[in-house]
Amino acid sequence: MALENGTYVNSLVPANPASTDGLAQADDHIRLIKSTLKNTFPNLTGPVTATQADLNNPPGSLTDLGITDGTASGQVLTTDGSGNFSFTALPAGTTDTNYYVTGGSVSGTTLTLTREGLGSVSISGLPAAVTNNNQLTNGAGYITTQYTPPTSVGAVGTYAFLVRNSNTASITEGQSISGSSLVYGSVDAVNPYIYETLVYGNSGTSPSGTWRAMGKTTSSLATKGTVYLRIS
């Protein structure tokens, strides 16, 4: 009697045993069949209800997997983390809005910003108001109102053409001079054809404060002048 060897179903030979074989090895054939079936399907512990169509055709949609379809277009498949699936509609979208700062104010150490489409937001803990730059340390800063340049004649931060009111040493650029040593002056062209000019003002009005020379004079004469910046 021919008896094949094998581990799985594909090892079985359909022609065995031959019709002329005796029964001496019939039990060996039966044990071989049972062994290959157990090895091929080791995890079957109950009835298999799938049809040949189920086994021969892979799933083409979710419903082929036993998952019920959703109730509306655009739903997404979600899970509860316990193996249960369902279709859920995504949250409705909202109109895109540009949220931007529209204004603000400072009160003490708190900055409040007003925003388009949103409520105001406050930022607290800012440095206290600074009244003297000596209060600042390296890297520190402070919030102040928009700077408005001075426009009054003789105000701190303004420029003027000034002349020394007495004969003293020449002036170098960057030199600081008291306004009491200066007077408002002018430059006049006496003979423009030979570029001769005269500076007037040594008997004019003196400005207040301290001024810094933004140019220079090369003579100690009182009629020598240049542009000055009031620094205090």
| pLDDT tens column, 161-217 | 888 877 777 888 889 999 888 888 777 655 555 554 455 555 578 889 999 998 888
Question: Which residues does the chain have with pLDDT short of 50?
Answer: 94, 196-197
Instruction: Determine contact, residues 135/195, Cβ cutoff 8 Å.
Output: no
**What's the pTM?**
0.37
Which pLDDT score, from 0 to 100, does residue 50 have?
85
Instruction: Determine contact, residues 87/69, Cβ cutoff 8 Å.
Output: yes
Which pLDDT score, from 0 to 100, does residue 144 have?
61
The first and second tokens of residue 54, run together, are 């189920």
Q: How many CB atoms lie within 10 A of CB 188?
A: 9
Which pLDDT score, from 0 to 100, does residue 229 have?
92
CA dihedral 168, 170, 176, 178 (to 10 degrees): 20
Which pLDDT score, from 0 to 100, does residue 105 have?
85
Instruction: Determine contact, residues 111/128, Cβ cutoff 8 Å.
Output: no
Which pLDDT score, from 0 to 100, does residue 53 have?
82
